[in-house]
């Protein structure tokens, strides 16, 4: 499966949702997640994200933290299929790392 990771937090460009053939993105206040059981591993969303937040779960997630987070919140947050504007202050967070610890609630 593919997963959404730290770079998405407080940027939320939502370009990803427009290309997913199975509409498996879910929206929280500060980030999106992918439902790992619905994702068909097509990979088309990965290059769409301007901040490279989308990755295969086999990459950059050695302890499974991001996969677990995507699985958990995809069950709770509402589905999103239409692109919307990013948060007004998204530029402040584009290059920041470790956003999960700072901003995720
Ligand atoms: Fe959707 Fe394909 Fe991305 Fe999975 S890899 S979330 S199916 S676009
Ligand atoms: Fe997030 Fe990138 Fe999609 S910032 S909302 S994963 S396009």
- In order of 7, 44, 80, the CA distances from 95 in angstroms are 8, 23, 24
Per-residue pLDDT of 13-23, as tens digits, reads: 999 999 999 99
**Three-class SS of residue 78?**
coil
Rounded distance, CA 78 to CA 64, Å?
23
pLDDT value, residue 105? 63
Is the confidence at residue 90, as pLDDT, over 70? yes
Instruction: Output the CA 84–ligand 2 centroid distance in Å.
Output: 11
- Judged by its nearest atom, the ligand closest to the C-alpha of residue 6 is 2
Contact between residue 55 and residue 7 where contact means Cβ atoms under 8 Å apart: no
- In order of 4, 25, 28, 35, the CA distances from 32 in angstroms are 7, 7, 6, 10
Instruction: Output the CA 82–ligand 2 centroid distance in Å.
Output: 12
Is the confidence at residue 36, as pLDDT, over 80? yes
- Judged by its nearest atom, the ligand closest to the C-alpha of residue 16 is 2
Q: pTM for the full model?
A: 0.97
Domains of the chain: 2-84 (3.30.70.20)
Rounded distance, CA 39 to CA 44, Å?
11
Find out whether the beta carbon of 45 lies less than 6 Å from any atom of ligand 2: no
């Amino acid at each position: 499966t593919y997963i959404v990771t730290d770079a998405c937090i407080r940027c939320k460009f939502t370009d990803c949702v427009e290309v997913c053939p199975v509409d498996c993105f879910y929206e929280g206040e500060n980030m999106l997640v992918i439902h790992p059981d619905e994702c068909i591993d097509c990979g088309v969303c990965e290059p769409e994200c301007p901040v490279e937040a989308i990755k295969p779960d086999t990459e950059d997630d050695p302890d499974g933290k991001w996969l677990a987070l995507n699985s958990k919140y995809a069950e709770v947050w509402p589905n999103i299929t239409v692109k919307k504007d990013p948060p007004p202050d998204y530029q402040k967070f584009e290059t920041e790392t470790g956003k999960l610890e700072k901003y995720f609630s």
